[in-house]
Amino acid sequence: MEAATALTPDQHAATASGAPTTGGLPGGSKAHSDGGWDAREKGFIPVQTRDARFRSYAAAEFPAVTGHEVNWKLTPVGRIGDLIDGELSGAPYELDAPTTTGIDVSWVDRSDARVGVVGTPEDKAAANAWGSFDKALVITVSGEDEQELVLGRSAFGAAPRAAHTIIEAKPFSNAVIVLDNSGAASLVENVEIVIGDSARLTVVTVQDFDDDARYVATHFGRVGRDARFKHVVVSLGGSVVRVNPAITLAEPGADGELLGVYFSDAGQHLEQQVFLFHEAANTKGRVNYKGALQGEGARTVWIGDVLIGANASATDSYEQNRNLVLTDGTRADSIPNLEIETGDILGAGHASATGRFDDEQLFYLRSRGISESEARRLVVRGFLAEIVQKIGFAPLEERLNSAIEAELAASVGIAGSTLGRQVDGAQR
Amino acid sequence: MSTLTIADLQVSVATDQGQKQILRGVDLTIKEGEIHAIMGPNGSGKSTLAYAIAGHPKYTVDGGSITLDGEDVLAMSVDERARAGLFLAMQYPVEIPGVTNTNFLRTAKTAIDGEAPSIRTWVKDVRESMGKLRMDSTFAERNVNEGFSGGEKKRNEILQLELLKPKFAVLDETDSGLDVDALKIVSEGVNRAHQATGLGILLITHYTRILRYISPDFVHVFVAGRVAEEGGAELAERLEEEGYDRFLTGETAAV
């Protein structure tokens, strides 16, 4: 099989990638032009397998973050220094949790046995939060009927804060859980998600924060036997928003669909470092993130790490990221990394594309009388619709479509028709 | 009575070797209800004329004019031209991912008419037009042209023509790539639009095949960016027998 050896992702990265993924060890390894880690210690081979990264619950065990680390180098660490190693309040916050049959929402002590079942921090910010929270929020889904819970979280406040959340889907349960985040925030959060055998769980995390909010989150997930897990990251509002899902398909038959949709405006940094680990055999993984960028300084980062472990035979995996650049002055980093430790797989692939608006699409729509601003809106909505439609929770889909409309109306709409006329006039 | 007038139109296109002149002074007047066939060999500038009328940004108008009932078309943006009553059926219709045909058609109709169509009659109109073009009802919910075959894309162009009801339509090689059944279906659609609304048509084609189903009032032969000969339907018949060699030889001789 063609994909049976590790692939080098650099040709797909919109910017230089610093994560060599040569599967073989020292013999085939050589210094990478980016990062400079080999210059300090001659002959030092960095961590190469994604699941072999250093991890710890103790922030002090992580060296100070410089911004050169593989998992920080595309993040504006200067804007979140206080979250990475400053003091964080760990007090519980106010929630809007409607009572739902079959779904229990409660606060537990940090000594609770469920804390730490799935996740161990891989970076200093996550460890800082782990050491700081007083109570963990536990959402437990039981029964077999389909349940929905939209958890409103808008009272984090502007002071630096740590949060810990556990979502547990009992075997055979079936639920959609939406973490609906808004308002002010300077928050570091760890979310542990346990998907029991044969459970079906969708977790959507919506980041619709205030303009100056900062949010750094890691979602750890463990998908059990024959369980289906859909994880959706929706990032729209906030100054720096970084959500890193690390999902393990731990038992045979586990299915993971990791989706993301984001819209970055001027000055916004929206980041997601996705890690999907096929640990067990017969697992299926799909990663699909799409984003749009508009305005000076709009930034997005997507790193997609997929690891197919030595025991994960008959695995079927595909990851992709697409970005639509709407204006000058934006930057999208898109870095897919694929490591495969067994040749006995069904398939593994990755794709990445970052491109400008398709002028032919605009021309086509406008030649049918549709104004430029409306045409742009249609194209962007259409581009992002692929992900929105896959969420499978109608009320949220409608809301996201309106939110995307609002993002577009904010700047594109104003420039719209008059600009179009000037451009055409100038081209004659 | 509406009239589309093209006078001394000169158009160039940007290429790697710099600006290249394609149209070298085209004169053409199309009145409401008339069908004009533009024929000519490859590279003679037929499609350039189509795109220049529609306002594609790749083409630069260096001289001449296009007016619709006296209004300066060249001063209008692409969408303004469409709202003024011009329509281009494209040779290669563009795919728009994530935008359903239904949504696209309704948005276009609303833009052209300046108000949303009444839902009841609109749904009925769309369904009827699709039926006549033998388009499966699933095409309504599919994304615009995405995954459509060549023939399906052309039918979708004619569906828009019938629903948007322009004053003048430019059909850019609508016949290319169609088998004979699809060609008949598409031609019937064009004829329906012509009869229903008094549509003026500029039918651009390389072959005479489509002229068996759509009868032109006038035939213009395009060679090297200008009209080399004009006549009635009999000119097309002559081209059918002789091809374009006569004109190409003449061009060489003139040089």
Q: How far apart are CA B9 and CA B26, in angstroms?
A: 5
pLDDT of res. A113: 96
Q: Which of B61, B77, B97 sits opposite A421 (nearest CB)?
A: B77
Give just the sign of the alpha carbon dihedral A283, A46, A333, A302.
positive
Interface touch A382/B94, C-beta < 8 Å: no
User: Chain A, 51-90: which have a CB under 8 Å from a chain B CB?
Assistant: none
pLDDT of res. A418: 29
Once rounded to an integer, what is the mean pLDDT over residues A183-192?
98
Residue B167 near chain A (CB below 8 Å): no
CA distances from A50 to A216, A414, B102 (A): 20, 45, 45
User: Per-residue confidence at A208, pLDDT binned at 50, 70, 90?
Assistant: very high
Bridge-based pairing state of the strands A146-153 and A316-325: unpaired
pLDDT for residue A98 is more than 60: yes
User: Per-residue confidence at A75, pLDDT binned at 50, 70, 90?
Assistant: very high
DSSP state of B37: E
Chain B: give the shortest CA distance to residue A146, in Å.
28
Chain B: give the shortest CA distance to residue A292, in Å.
14
pLDDT digits (tens, 9 = 90+) for B100-128: 999 999 999 999 999 999 989 999 999 99
Domains of chain B by residue range:
3-254
pLDDT of res. A427: 29
pLDDT digits (tens, 9 = 90+) for B192-237: 999 999 999 999 998 899 999 999 999 999 999 999 999 999 998 8
The larger pLDDT score, comparing residue A172 to residue A12, is at: A172
DSSP state of A168: E
Bridge-based pairing state of the strands A316-325 and A200-209: unpaired
pLDDT digits (tens, 9 = 90+) for A103-125: 999 999 999 999 999 999 999 99
Most confident of A40-49, B85-94, B227-236: B85-94
Chain A residue whose CA is closest to B91: A364
Residue A129 near chain B (CB below 8 Å): no
pLDDT of res. A423: 28
User: Per-residue confidence at A22, pLDDT binned at 50, 70, 90?
Assistant: very low
Burial of A360 (0-12, 13-18, 19+ CB in 10 A): middle
Chain A neighbors of B74, CB-CB under 8 A: 428
Once rounded to an integer, what is the mean pLDDT over residues A54-69?
95
CA distances from A19 to A73, A260, A269, A274 (A): 11, 22, 21, 14
Q: What kind and span of H or E run contains A69?
A: none
Interface touch B60/A427, C-beta < 8 Å: yes
Chain A: give the shortest CA distance to residue B89, in Å.
9
Q: How far apart are CA A262 and CA A269, in angstroms?
A: 10
DSSP state of A190: E
Residue A421 near chain B (CB below 8 Å): yes
Mean pLDDT rounded to a whole number for chain B:
93
User: Chain A, 15-54: which have a CB under 8 Å from a chain B CB?
Assistant: none
Residue B104 near chain A (CB below 8 Å): yes
HSE on the CB side for A210, CA within 13 Å? Answer: 13
Tokens of A269: 């940094």
Residue A381 near chain B (CB below 8 Å): yes
Once rounded to an integer, what is the mean pLDDT over residues A16-25?
38
The larger pLDDT score, comparing residue A302 to residue A33, is at: A302
pLDDT of res. A389: 86
CA distances from B112 to A220, A416, B106, B197 (A): 51, 17, 10, 15
pLDDT of res. A32: 52
Q: How far apart are CA B147 and CA A84, in angstroms?
A: 48
Interface touch A369/B82, C-beta < 8 Å: yes
Query: By C-alpha distance, which of A413, A399, A409 is closest to A182?
Result: A399
pLDDT for residue A426 is more than 50: no
pLDDT of res. B73: 98
pLDDT for residue A29 is more than 90: no
CATH topology of domain B3-254: Rossmann fold (3.40.50)
Q: Helix, strand or coil for residue B109?
A: helix
DSSP state of B252: H
Q: Residue A308: which residues within 8 A CB-CB, separation 6 or more?
A: A278, A315, A317, A338, A339, A340, A341, A342, A345, A348
> Distance between the two ends of chain B, CA-based, in angstroms?
41
pLDDT of res. B246: 82
Query: By C-alpha distance, which of B200, B177, B179, B205 is closest to B190?
Result: B200
Q: How far apart are CA B218 and CA A404, in angstroms?
A: 50
pLDDT for residue A413 is more than 50: no
pLDDT for residue A394 is more than 50: yes
pLDDT digits (tens, 9 = 90+) for A130-179: 999 999 999 999 999 999 999 999 999 999 999 999 999 999 999 999 99
Mean pLDDT rounded to a whole number for chain A:
87
Chain B: give the shortest CA distance to residue A182, in Å.
28
User: Per-residue confidence at A417, pLDDT binned at 50, 70, 90?
Assistant: very low
pLDDT of res. B243: 84
pLDDT of res. A422: 28
- Number of residues that this document lists for chain A: 428
Q: How far apart are CA A110 and CA A190, in angstroms?
A: 13
Q: How far apart are CA B173 and CA B91, in angstroms?
A: 5
What are the E-state strand segments in A49-183? 103-109, 135-141, 146-153, 157-169, 174-183
Long-range contacts of B111-114 (CB under 8 A, 24+ apart): B111/A368, B111/A369, B111/A370, B111/A371, B111/A374, B111/B79, B111/B82, B111/B83, B112/A368, B112/A369, B112/B82, B112/B83, B112/B164, B112/B165, B112/B166, B114/B83
Q: What are phi and psi of B110, to 5 degrees?
A: -65, -40
DSSP class per residue in B186-226: HHHHHHHHHHHH--EEEEEESSSGGGGTS--SEEEEEETTE
Residue A366 near chain B (CB below 8 Å): yes
- Please say whether the beta carbons of A415 and A397 come within 8 A: no
pLDDT for residue B63 is more than 70: yes
Chain A residue whose CA is closest to B80: A369
Once rounded to an integer, what is the mean pLDDT over residues B75-91?
97
The fraction of chain A above a pLDDT of 90, given in percent, is: 75
User: Per-residue confidence at A21, pLDDT binned at 50, 70, 90?
Assistant: very low
Q: What kind and span of H or E run contains A155?
A: none
Q: What are phi and psi of B12, to 5 degrees?
A: -125, 165
Q: How far apart are CA A75 and CA B123, in angstroms?
A: 50
Q: What is the CA radius of gyration of chain B?
A: 18
Q: How far apart are CA B156 and CA B168, in angstroms?
A: 18
pLDDT of res. B109: 97
pLDDT of res. B247: 82
Chain A neighbors of B96, CB-CB under 8 A: 361, 364-365, 378-379, 382
In this structure, of A17-31, A66-80, B38-52, the range with the lowest mean pLDDT score is: A17-31
pLDDT of res. A360: 94
Q: Which of B79, B96, B156, B172 to mutate to test the interface with A (most CBs of A within 10 A)?
A: B79
pLDDT for residue A419 is more than 50: no
User: Per-residue confidence at A228, pLDDT binned at 50, 70, 90?
Assistant: very high
pLDDT of res. B132: 96
- ipTM, two decimals, is 0.95
Residue A415 near chain B (CB below 8 Å): no
Give the number of other Cβ atoms within 10 Å of residue B74's Cβ. Answer: 17
Chain B residue whose CA is closest to A384: B98
Give the number of other Cβ atoms within 10 Å of residue B138's Cβ. Answer: 9
As separate numbers, helices (DSSP H) first and strands (DSSP E) second, chain B gives 8, 10
